[in-house]
Amino acid sequence: MVPLKRVEKEMKECVKCGVCRAHCPVFTELGREPAVARGKVALARAILSGRIKPDARTYADMSKCLLCGNCVQKCPNDVPTDEIVVAARETLAQLRGLTSFHKALRQILKNRIIMRIGAFIAAIVSPLVMRKVPGSSGLRLRFPLPFISGGRFIPKIASKPFMSRHPVIIPGEAEKPRILFFAGCMINFIYPEVGDAAVALLGGVGCTVIIPEEQQCCGLPAMSGGDVATFRELAEKNLAALEKYQADYIVTACASCGGALHGYYPAVIGKAYPELAGRCRAVAAKAVDAVSLLKILGFKPGKGVADAGIRMTYHDPCHLRRRNSTKEPRELLRGVPGGVFVEMEGADACCGLGGTFNLYHYGTSMAINARKSAAILKSGAEIVLTGCPGCMLQLNDGLQQKGIKTRVAHILELLARTVR
Partner 1 sequence: MLASHIISQLESIVGKGNIALEQQDLICYSYDATQMEFLPDAVVYPANAAEVSLVIEMANAETIPVFPRGAGSGFSGGSLPKGGGIVLVTTRMNKIIRIDTDNLIAVVEPGVITGDLQQEVEKLGLFYPPDPASLKFSTLGGNVAECAGGPRAVKYGVTRDYVLGLEVVLPTGDIIKTGGETMKGVVGYDLTRLICGSEGTLGVITSITLKLLPLPETKKTMLALFSSIDGAARAVSAIISGKIIPSTLEFMDRTAIQCVMTHSQMDIPEAAGALLIIEVDGDHDLVARQSERIHELIRHLDLISFRSARDEAEAEELWAARRRVSPSLRRVNPHKINEDIVVPRSKVPEIISRIDAIREKYSIPVVNFGHAGDGNIHVNIMIDKEIPGEEEKAGLALRELIEATLELGGTISGEHGVGLSKAPYIAMELNPSQIATMQAIKKALDPNNILNPGKIFPAD
Contacting residues toward partner 1, per CB under 8 A: 12-13, 15-19, 21-22, 31-34, 38-39, 42-43, 46, 51-52, 57-58, 61, 75-78
Closer residue to partner 1, CB minimum distance, 31 or 278: 31
Closer residue to partner 1, CB minimum distance, 32 or 334: 32
Closer residue to partner 1, CB minimum distance, 33 or 382: 33
Closer residue to partner 1, CB minimum distance, 15 or 119: 15
Closer residue to partner 1, CB minimum distance, 58 or 406: 58
Closer residue to partner 1, CB minimum distance, 13 or 233: 13
Q: Around Cβ 267, how many Cβ atoms within 10 Å?
A: 18
Minimum distance, C-beta of residue 60 to partner 1, in the bound complex (Å):
9
Minimum distance, C-beta of residue 300 to partner 1, in the bound complex (Å):
26
Taking the C-alpha atoms of residue 291 and residue 204, their distance in angstroms, rounded to an integer, is: 13
Minimum distance, C-beta of residue 15 to partner 1, in the bound complex (Å):
5
3-state secondary structure 290-301: HHHHHHHCCCCC
Minimum distance, C-beta of residue 9 to partner 1, in the bound complex (Å):
11
Minimum distance, C-beta of residue 34 to partner 1, in the bound complex (Å):
5
Closer residue to partner 1, CB minimum distance, 42 or 114: 42
Tell me which residue of 185, 65, 173 sits closest to 116, measured CA to CA.
Answer: 185
Query: Using N-to-C axis directions, what is the helix angle for 411-419 and 192-204, rounded to 10°?
Result: 50
Residue 94 CA from chain centroid, whole number = 25
Minimum distance, C-beta of residue 55 to partner 1, in the bound complex (Å):
9
Closer residue to partner 1, CB minimum distance, 31 or 274: 31
Minimum distance, C-beta of residue 37 to partner 1, in the bound complex (Å):
11
Closer residue to partner 1, CB minimum distance, 30 or 200: 30
Minimum distance, C-beta of residue 18 to partner 1, in the bound complex (Å):
4
Minimum distance, C-beta of residue 111 to partner 1, in the bound complex (Å):
36
